[in-house]
Amino acid sequence: MYGFEALTFNIHGGYLEAIVRGHRARLLTAADYNNLCQCETLEDIKMHLSATEYGPYLQNEPSPLHTTTIVEKCTLKLVDDYKHMLCQATEPLSTFLEYITYGHMIDNVVLIVTGTLHERDVQELLEKCHPLGMFDSIASLAVAQNMRELYRLVLVDTPLAPYFSDCITSEDLDDMNIEIMRNTLYKAYLEDFYKFCQKLGGATAEIMSDLLAFEADRRAVNITINSIGTELTRDDRKKLYSNFGLLYPYGHEELAVSEDIDQVRAVMEKYPPYQSIFAKLSFGESQMLDKAFNEEEVKRLCLAFDQQFHYAVFFAYMRLREQEVRNLMWISECVAQNQKSRVHDSVVFIF
């Protein structure tokens, strides 16, 4: 019952909530990012990170360092935190934590299938997969020729199986079908996660509804922009939008018929929470949209920590840590390629 979580929450969730709030306190600050942006080499970045939580993960890495090594080791820190929390969690928190990884599973499935389509080596593809989205039979994805085989041979035994009901066709896999599959799976996953959070009730339902609705709306905008000028019909486009969120249902009707970025902008500016995002962009521009959405998401994730006795802090921490790894990857790439002037372009400050 909403408002009474404080009576019982700490019996099973108190220790882990304390742990996750401790992790959140050790995320990189604006001062850390400013120092990292001044670095001249990847060795300088490693030296600065040695004073942070990433220190033990990078200390034994030999020179010369590569960007991929830094990203891999920083991701390992995220994975270790997640596994520790999952080991300590009891129901329903353990199921909630598992839901967080399903998005990475979908990305891994798409990565393997797309790579195989373009005749890339399976081992090389497996190395690029996100460790949180791995499952036992992932390497077998390479043998599938269409959605039906993909489901029957591999995915029927994974948590993604229920999400495939709308994807199973006998059409051969090509780039367009794979992208439609990714978005259909994400739609089913977000709707399922949303229902699960509603079932939990209380502050978890309230905060997660807001965070997942934002994610659903962002995906709707991205699907619209990416499908402009393709053979995707308006009805097909609409089928890929999630059935919840601030834009549902009237915003979806308008997005489905949008033909360019300015029409998308006109739709989004009718919704006050999204006006500030599009105010940062000049007309006809969509390159900086991702950064504007990421900044808004980070703001909302940080607000999740203002309340106590709910599970949304675990989701928020994982997302913030993932954004931190993306920031480090961008800074490392700019330093490695001597593009220091662009270092601030994609960095999203968390605090």
* Chain segment 49-85, per-residue pLDDT in tens: 999 999 999 998 888 889 999 999 999 999 999 999 9
- What is the torsional sign of CA 311, 314, 315, 316? positive
Burial class (CB in 10 A: 0-12, 13-18, 19+), 60: exposed
How sure is the predictor about 122, in pLDDT bands with cuts at 50, 70 and 90? confident
Query: Radius of gyration over alpha carbons of the chain, in Å?
Result: 21
Return the biggest CA–CA distance within the chain: 56
Q: Can you give the pTM of this predicted structure?
A: 0.93
Q: Is the pLDDT of residue 182 over 80?
A: yes
Q: What is the mean pLDDT of the chain?
A: 89
Q: What is the mean pLDDT of residues 303-329?
A: 95
Cis peptide before 92 (omega within 30 of 0): yes
For range 132-138, the mean pLDDT: 85
pLDDT of residue 1: 45
Provide the CA 132 distance to its chain's centre, in angstroms: 11
At residue 340, the pLDDT reads 85
Inter-CA distances, 234 with 38, 75, 181, 268, Å: 47, 38, 17, 18
